[in-house]
Structure 1
Amino acid sequence: MLAELLARHEETARARLDGHSYDYIAGGGAEEISVREAAAAWRRIRLRPRVLRDVTEVDTSCEVAGIRVSAPVLVAPTAFHAIAHPDGEVETARGVAAAGGLMIVATRSNADLDAVVAALGSPWLFQVYVMRDRDITASLVERAARLGARALVLTGDAPVLSRRRHGHILPPLTEDQYLGNLRPLLKPGTRISWDTAQDPSITFETIGWLRELSGLPVYVKGVLRGDDAAACLDAGAAGVVVSNHGGRQLDRAVAAAVALPGVVAAVGGRGEVLVDGGIRSGIDILIALAMGARAVLVGRPVSWALASDGAAGVQQLLDALRDDLREAMALAGARAIADVDRSLVASG
């Protein structure tokens, strides 16, 4: 079962990683209330399945950001994969490619972007942290566009980094590993401290700047309010990602499952709505889609799979999530993603 696979990956990862690295991946902000609530929020939602539908064949494929994917499950942009596997994001990319998945490559990748893209060999998106030195951000974004990124995902909920419960803002890595993705863009001797490098002055206008700079669609990640979602679209965003940053930023921020309906209503079909935070099963994915999400993102489970079994673990996880979704759809009477709608979710 998927739950057993997830548990095995995390248990193995915990045994293999040093305590600092494990805490960095697992931890959240302040009291970690948002971390604990993420998965529980999905489990509180109930379904009203259809019956007497022919579900001999169930198709989980859909389109996200103009890309056809085998399932509406994306690999979330998480930092510093080298703490989970020596080959870092390159190894993650190998697993994503083997599963036919879609990866959002992070700004804070330990691996050079060229190597990650080569390992993927398929469409990908690029996550952006806007840095105080806008020239570095511009160079990074322009490079991603040249290498074939299909869209940018602007992280909007981290103008500053929160203090984590275990005190670990950054994992134990060498300076070269910290700067892996940026190294080709920096002048010799340049030093960057990730915990202070981010630009706290970003606004909705940043969306237009990134669009003009790259020529790519821009999604904004970290949206929990309907008015913010509408403002992102008004500023030119192609969509939003409903997320509380895995509970790693503002603790007690509302769970993504709770915020999703309001954001979907505010967007009103003007853009795509993705969601992440606490997705651990095909039923969770089914609920998210029924509530109006185009796709979901998974983060920590990918890190555990990477630490546990490398690329094979990542592939196994993504395949298992797709298969679990297929089963959930069949049991709910949905033969295709288009059949998954709000009527499947019980109100009240």
Structure 2
Amino acid sequence: MTGFFDFQNEIYQGGLDGSVPELPMTAAGLEQRAQQVLDPVAFAYVAGSASSERTAAANRSAFDRYRIVPRMLRGTSWPGARDLSVEVLGTRLAAPVLTAPVGVLELLHEAGEVIVGDVTKELGIGTVLSTAASSTIEEVGATAGDWWYQLYWPSDDELARSFVERAQRAGAKAIVVTVDTPNLGWRPRDLAHAHLPFLHGKGIANYLSDPVFRAKLPAPPEESEAAMRAAIGAWASVFSNHALRPADLARLREWTDLPIAAKGILHPDDARQVVDAGADAVVVSNHGGRQVDGSIAALDALPVVVASIGDRADVLFDSGIRTGSDMLIALALGAKAVLYGRPWAYGLGIAGRAGVRHALRLLLADFDSALGLSGCASPAELDRSLVVTAR
């Protein structure tokens, strides 16, 4: 599917027969609906951010500091004149979007990651599978189209290598190392429920299915409740990794020939260091505000990081994208593609596959429209001249 703007015509055509969309038409509307229908624990896990949630708010308000300066009379208002496709890290995408790695999707739907892989395959965009998934690497690899694997590098290097090698065998096209999570941030919404899903055996499917991890357990976790508790304890002992350094990316290069991205970069010096160590891409991100409360908005970091590494590596962006115009601004500031998170997760919890598809089509159609109305026929035409800082 590449005619993303057709979604608008589809909705208006349905209106001729008295049909109106069953699902909300904005990211904010999806969040509001999700809060109404989801289990409070599940909603808190997806919606929550670190501490006072200032960084999550800053991610959104950062977009208000930019204004788009549309160009006219360029013949791009006709949807057929536009090509949204891009190539990022050797992956061809129908639009510069991948679903961000969101863990523990079983809180929202029992087949969450498989559904997301299937929908993104249909739409021609990418998906990034979390290490903290509720479906295994192999289950997602059997369904998804163009997908990348996000690595939470455990403190056990043998296990980290096993994850990476499993992902490559299953068809992943890139490895995304999240570097901003040596441990989980302080998240009051989860703390208020005293609920960390991993301690309930959720979101650890890739560990429980891994031969290296299982070989270190006293008994298979399926055998008994006590064996599962032991497996959860083993997960807790290896998840955090405070020792990771840029040089470790060079070791990762020895394990795989897939492109490597470092996700969670905000400082230009860190960007240069990971590229020097062998990263093919940097994802400018503050984890959607879930790690360091009060940190810089991801969008404010983007231009500086882009300038710091030039054309030595691709730059991607996440944290705060909610509309097509948000996408356009991030791309104009130098991102090659964006990762999109919470809204489709809300859609998953509200309506399963239909909810994910709806949320992603909202973003894609909005971007398609904004791109053409700004006078551009492709993402390659977006540059800094199309945005100005707001007065």
What TM-score, normalized to structure 1? 0.94
Alpha-carbon offset, residue 176 of structure 1: 4.3
Alignment partner of 1:124 is 2:166:
no
Larger Rg: 2
Alignment partner of 1:114 is 2:156:
no
The 8 Å contact of residues 98 and 315 in structure 1, kept in 2 or not, is answered as no
Alignment partner of 1:93 is 2:117:
yes
2:310 aligned residue (260, 268, 271):
268
Alpha-carbon offset, residue 118 of structure 1: 1.5
Alignment partner of 1:179 is 2:204:
yes
Alpha-carbon offset, residue 338 of structure 1: 1.5
CA displacement 1:140-176 (0-9 Å, x = unmatched): 1111111111110000111121221224385446744
Query: What is residue 37 of structure 1 aligned with on the other side?
Result: 58
Deviates more, 1:263-272 or 1:43-52: 43-52
CA gap of 1:243–1:21, structure 2 versus 1, over 3 A, is same
Deviates more, 1:31-40 or 1:168-177: 168-177
Alignment partner of 1:6 is 2:48:
no
How many residue pairs are counted as aligned between the two chains? 347
Output the amino acid matched with 2:84. Answer: T
1:227 aligned residue (242, 259, 269):
269
Distance 1:301 1:103 in 2: 14
Distance 1:163 1:195 in 2: 19
Query: What is residue 68 of structure 2 aligned with on the other side?
Result: 47
Alpha-carbon offset, residue 3 of structure 1: 7.6
1:63 aligned residue (84, 87, 95):
87
**2:339 counterpart SS class:** strand
Identity of aligned residues (%): 38
2:103 aligned residue (79, 104, 111):
79
Query: What is residue 300 of structure 2 aligned with on the other side?
Result: 258
**1:266 counterpart SS class:** helix
The 8 Å contact of residues 331 and 382 in structure 2, kept in 1 or not, is answered as yes
Output the amino acid matched with 2:30. Answer: H
In structure 1, the gaps of 5 or more residues are none
Distance 2:341 2:237 in 1: 20
Query: What is residue 353 of structure 2 aligned with on the other side?
Result: 311
Distance 2:205 2:69 in 1: 48
Query: What is residue 17 of structure 1 aligned with on the other side?
Result: 38
The 8 Å contact of residues 95 and 313 in structure 1, kept in 2 or not, is answered as no
The 8 Å contact of residues 137 and 206 in structure 2, kept in 1 or not, is answered as yes
**1:29 counterpart SS class:** coil
CA gap of 1:29–1:211, structure 2 versus 1, over 3 A, is same
The 8 Å contact of residues 107 and 127 in structure 1, kept in 2 or not, is answered as yes
Output the amino acid matched with 1:206. Answer: D
In structure 2, the gaps of 5 or more residues are 1-7, 9-22, 215-219, 221-226
Query: What is residue 204 of structure 1 aligned with on the other side?
Result: 246
2:180 aligned residue (132, 157, 163):
157
Query: What is residue 215 of structure 1 aligned with on the other side?
Result: 257
Output the amino acid matched with 1:243. Answer: S
CA-based RMSD of the aligned residues comes to: 1.9
Alignment partner of 1:245 is 2:266:
no
Output the amino acid matched with 2:310. Answer: G
Query: What is residue 28 of structure 1 aligned with on the other side?
Result: 49
2:163 aligned residue (135, 140, 143):
140
The 8 Å contact of residues 13 and 308 in structure 1, kept in 2 or not, is answered as yes
Distance 1:178 1:134 in 2: 20
Distance 1:261 1:242 in 2: 10
What TM-score, normalized to structure 2? 0.84
**2:189 counterpart SS class:** coil
Distance 1:170 1:235 in 2: 37
CA gap of 1:127–1:309, structure 2 versus 1, over 3 A, is same
Query: What is residue 217 of structure 2 aligned with on the other side?
Result: none
Alpha-carbon offset, residue 11 of structure 1: 2.6
The 8 Å contact of residues 105 and 125 in structure 1, kept in 2 or not, is answered as yes
CA gap of 1:178–1:330, structure 2 versus 1, over 3 A, is closer
Alpha-carbon offset, residue 76 of structure 1: 0.4
**2:388 counterpart SS class:** coil
The 8 Å contact of residues 48 and 190 in structure 2, kept in 1 or not, is answered as no
Output the amino acid matched with 1:309. Answer: A
Output the amino acid matched with 1:139. Answer: S
**2:296 counterpart SS class:** coil
CA displacement 1:279-311 (0-9 Å, x = unmatched): 011100011111000001111112101111111
Distance 1:124 1:140 in 2: 15
The 8 Å contact of residues 153 and 160 in structure 2, kept in 1 or not, is answered as yes
CA gap of 1:347–1:6, structure 2 versus 1, over 3 A, is closer
Where in structure 2 are the equivalents of 1:301-340 lying within 5 Å? Answer: 301-340=343-382
